[in-house]
Amino acid sequence: MAQLVRIPTLKTTDDFRKHVASLGINLPCDDSIESGSHSPLAKPVEHVRFNGRQIGNRIAINPMEGWDGTADGNPTENTLRRWRRFGQSGAKLIWGGEAVAVSHAGRANPNQLVVAEHTRAGLAQLRAALVTEHVLAAGSDAGLLVGLQLTHSGRYCKPNSHTRAEPKILHRHPILDRRLGLSADFPLLTDGEIGGIIEDFCRAGRMAAELGFDFVDVKHCHGYLGHEFLGAHTREGKYGGSFENRTRFLREVVQGIRAVAPGLKIGVRVSAFDTVPFRPDPALSANGKLGPGIPEPFAELIPYRWGFGVDASDPTRLDLAEPIQFLSLLESLNIVLVNLTAGSPYYNPHIQRPALYPPSDGYAPPEDPLVGVARQMDAARELKRRFPNLLFVGTAYSYLQDFLPHVAQAALREDWVDSVGLGRMVLTYPEIFLDAAQGRAVQHKRICRTFSDCTTAPRNGLPSGCYPLDGHYKTSPAAVQLAAVKAKR
């Protein structure tokens, strides 16, 4: 691949548009950001109401966990700080805050939050802190919708130690089993155990409703359990094989939550497409430097039957046929809140979160990261066109950097998506949209440059955060440990 053009070298929206055109992709981009009530970012979402309420603007905060809870799954001061900053963004849709496990065994790391009786007060405190800051930033909490993301980490469970994986898998995966060192007789979750996990989701949903959350996200993305169900083509029994069986988990969770928490809304964050796992090209990796990502060999695996939204004849390509069926199912279940993401941070991070610099468990970009942004935005546009009654939150905008407000505004104006979700950018610069939509200058020094330290740190047992740009982390003892980890590479 030719030398990548870095976004900070593009000085104007014209430069940006020319660069986009040179990549052969399509990204809308406005020249200037409108302020005041005319701003597309500031308009309420009109076509969907929740108990008579509209969502007050088109800004969403995507879930961002911090690997910084206590050993028993309660928030710490760092967690609280992150949720306060979510509130400071002025976003009226808080999509889940962060992944919160429905049980200890389902945690992705020993510092993940858990929904349990002993964490009830801690979770309530997170929500309250967020709302307080939101009111200070936005003037009131009118039109604010706050959700809680419910998760079970499935294949990526590590509840007790950063160094001990305790996977719960639904089916054999010819590539991921090998990567995780799982033998051919590694036990699959039984249908009975799945029933227990569904009960955990329902209990967690009830508690979220009691704590005042407006909705829960039944997470179906990034390779975790809900997502693995969708790709469980080779599983036998009632939770695998046909589309109906692979979506049974979702239907049972939704039915169960509605029985115990009738007023609670339900949303789904879904990896709308995927690819075969990638790895650093061994021929181009040397001296601790990660080579560009290449797909794992798959010639022997065609038709490819281990994913969702993947072309079975060429798993480097997406196929939206089943995701479209999935959205029809959500509509029939009266679920309108949909958050679109893609792939998995564990096996194809360039698909999931386009970045210039790889995290320690990743690979150098196999494509211009803008291509990854365009792939997610394009899929969202196509799905929104087909399902105009759903409310779509889009993802993967952070790599747009200085042009994020321009692209977001154009995407909203041109109806590509209903709400623009901020991921990594919220760690560095939560107020970026508030500044843009209220006519203040955007602070370029605070813009996420996709250094990936917020992923490298937790991959090495440290709390997540923006170590390069957020003073709170830059000067923390963990920053010294992170520097040592990076020096060894």
Task: Name the binder of 146 from ligand FMN, ligand SF4, none, CB < 5-8 A by kind.
Answer: none
Q: Does 127 bind ligand SF4 (CB under 6 A)?
A: no
Q: 467 vs 169, 357, 442, 477, CA distance in Å?
A: 33, 14, 21, 11
Contact between 398 and ligand FMN by CB under 6 A: the answer reads yes
Residue 432 in contact with ligand FMN, rule: CB under 6 A:
no
Q: Which of 468, 472, 485, 486 binds ligand SF4 (CB under 6 A)?
A: 468
Helices (H), 112-174: 120-138
Candidates 50-58, 256-264, 379-387, 417-425 — which segment interacts with ligand FMN by CB under 6 A? 417-425
Confirm if 393 and 419 have CB atoms less than 8 A apart: yes
Q: In the chain, what are the helix, strand and coil shares in percent, each to the nearest 5?
A: 40, 10, 45
- Beta-sheet pairing, 293-295 with 278-280: antiparallel
Residue 397 binds ligand FMN (CB under 6 A): yes
Pick 62 or 74: Cβ nearer ligand FMN? 62
* Contact status: 82 vs ligand FMN (CB under 6 A): no
The count of other CB atoms within 10 Å of the CB of residue 115 is: 26
Q: What's the min distance (Å) between Cβ of 297 and ligand FMN?
A: 27
HEC letters along 76-89: CHHHHHHHHHHHHC
Question: Which residues in the 44-63 window bind ligand FMN by CB under 6 A?
Answer: 62-63
Closer of 267 and 423 to ligand FMN (Cβ): 423
Residue from 427, 432, 436, 478 binding ligand SF4 (CB under 6 A): 427
Nearer to ligand SF4, 256 or 358 (CB): 358
Which positions from 449 through 478 interact with ligand FMN, judged by CB under 6 A? 454-455, 464
149 or 460: CB nearest ligand FMN = 149
For tokens 């995507």, name the residue. Answer: 62
Residue 147 binds to ligand FMN (criterion: CB under 6 A): no
Cα–Cα distance measured from residue 60 to residue 93, given in angstroms and rounded to the nearest whole number: 5
Of 38 and 445, nearer to ligand SF4 (C-beta) is 445
Shortest reach from residue 450's CB to ligand SF4, in Å: 5
Going by DSSP bridges, is the β-strand pair 337-341/391-394 parallel, antiparallel, or unpaired?
parallel
Instruction: Report what 395 binds from ligand FMN, ligand SF4, none; CB cut-off 5-8 Å by kind.
Output: ligand FMN
Angle between helix 120-138 and 191-210 (nearest 10): 50
Point out which span in 11-19, 176-184, 277-285, 392-400 binds ligand FMN (CB under 6 A): 392-400
Least distance in Å: CB of 425 to ligand SF4?
7
Q: How far is CA 440 from CA 337, 421, 429, 431, 433, in A?
A: 31, 20, 14, 10, 10
Q: Judging by beta carbons within 10 Å of its beta carbon (0-12, 13-18, 19+), is residue 22 exposed, middle or buried?
A: exposed
Contact with ligand SF4 (CB under 6 A) among 126, 254, 469, 478 = 469
C-alpha distances in Å from residue 197, one per residue of 34, 168, 200, 235, 275: 46, 11, 5, 17, 27
Q: How far is the CB of 3 from ligand FMN (least distance, A)?
A: 22
Per CB under 6 A, the list member of 55, 99, 374, 393 interacting with ligand FMN is 99
| Distance, CA of 437 to chain centre | 24
The pair of three-digit structure tokens given for residue 105, joined into one six-digit string: 């065994």
Q: What is the CA radius of gyration of the chain?
A: 21
Contact status, residue 399 vs residue 370, Cβ threshold 8 Å: yes
- CA gap 88, 61 in Å, rounded: 11
* Site membership for ligand SF4, residue 404 (CB under 6 A): no
- Site membership for ligand SF4, residue 395 (CB under 6 A): no
- DSSP string covering 344-404, please? -TTT-HHHHS--SS--TTS-B-SS-HHHHHHHHHHHHHHHHHH-TTSEEEE---GGGGGGH
- Name the residue nearer to ligand FMN (CB basis): 304 or 326: 326
Interacting residues with ligand SF4 between 441 and 460 (CB under 6 A): 448-454
Among 189, 422, 442, 469, binds ligand FMN (CB under 6 A): 422
- By a kind-dependent CB cut-off of 5 to 8 A, residue 397 interacts, out of ligand FMN, ligand SF4, none, with ligand FMN
Residue 80 near residue 477, CB atoms below 8 Å = no
Judged by CB under 6 A, the stretch of 73-81, 119-127, 391-399, 407-415 that binds ligand FMN is 391-399
Distance, in Å, from the CA atom of 480 to the CA atom of 486, rounded to the nearest integer, reads 10
**Is residue 341 part of the contact set for ligand FMN (CB under 6 A)?**
yes
Which positions from 258 through 277 interact with ligand FMN, judged by CB under 6 A?
269
User: DSSP labels for 398-434?
Assistant: GGGGGGHHHHHHHHHHTTS-SEEEESHHHHH-TTHHH
- 473 binds, options ligand FMN, ligand SF4, none, Cβ within 5 to 8 A by partner type: none
Is 425 a binding residue for ligand FMN by CB under 6 A? The answer is: yes
Tell me, by CB under 6 A, how many residues bind ligand SF4.
14
Cβ nearer to ligand SF4, comparing 197 with 447:
447
* 107 sits near ligand FMN (criterion: CB under 6 A): no
Binding site for ligand SF4 (CB under 6 A): 424, 427-428, 448-454, 466-469
Contact footprint for ligand FMN (CB under 6 A): 62-65, 98-99, 149, 221-222, 269, 341, 353, 395-399, 422-425, 454-455, 464
